[in-house]
Amino acid sequence: MRAVDVIAKKRDGRVLTRDEIGFIIRGYTDGDVADYQMAALLMAIYLRGMSDDETLALTEAMLH
């Protein structure tokens, strides 16, 4: 899995899986996902929104 693919998926308005969200959060906290990539994902989320399941998965990934 690559961060760029997860970003593109959300940019295109598709729903992210729990695994994809976990991958991005783990990658960011481990330093494997760059700040600009996280910023791009957050912009895509802002523009496209998140489903309830995505929001829950993001919250849980950030919690852990």
14-63: per-residue pLDDT in tens? 999 999 999 999 999 999 999 999 999 999 999 999 999 999 999 999 99
pLDDT of the residue at 48: 96
Phi-psi label, residue 31: left if phi above 0, alpha if psi -120 to 50, beta otherwise: left
DSSP helix, strand, coil percent of the chain (3-state; round to 5): 75, 0, 25
Q: Which CATH number fits domain 3-63: 1.20.970.10, 1.20.1250.20, 3.30.470.10, 3.40.140.10?
A: 1.20.970.10
- Please tell me the pTM assigned to this model: 0.88
Residue 64 has pLDDT above 90, yes or no: no
